[in-house]
Amino acid sequence: MNKILGIVLRSGVIFSGAIIATGTALFIANHSLDNTSAYLVYNPGLIPHGNFPASLASIGSGLASLDPSSIIQLGFLVLLATPVARVAFSLFLFAAEKDRRFVYLTAAVLTVLLFSMLATPLFPLFNG
């Protein structure tokens, strides 16, 4: 079980690293001599958030045109999936050990994790 989890985590990390590296290489190929300051102005009021994608839809449309920023964001999303996979896997681990207390505990952690990842961005309170 631990071995499978190790393989899942490792391939997730390598996969995500490869995607981010591809996006970075594409960006550098076109912009290596640009002045960085233009990319670092914080402008969350701009839709969609300045010049890079910050939603699944904009990443999706960016990927279609091989936009380097969208490729990097996709790599980040794959990376983000690895801690979730780890918690989800522990759920099976504890279930296999028939450890009911920890199955509940892990299920609670997984629920809160998924809820805050997916739902909190929708609340204006946290969206300042």
Among residues 57, 60, 65, 90, which is the contact residue for other proteins, using CB under 8 A? 90
Alpha carbon distances (Å) from 33 to 28, 36, 41, 69: 8, 9, 18, 17
Q: What is the dihedral of CA 71, 73, 75, 81, to 10 degrees?
A: -150
- Quote the distance between the C-alpha of residue 83 and its chain's center: 10
Q: Does 92 bind other proteins (CB under 8 A)?
A: no
Residues at the interface with other proteins (CB under 8 A): 2-3, 5-7, 9-10, 12-13, 16-17, 20-21, 23-24, 27-28, 31-37, 39-42, 44, 48-50, 52, 54-55, 68-69, 72-73, 75-76, 79-80, 82-84, 86-87, 90, 93, 99, 101-102, 105-106, 108-109, 112-113, 116-122, 126-128
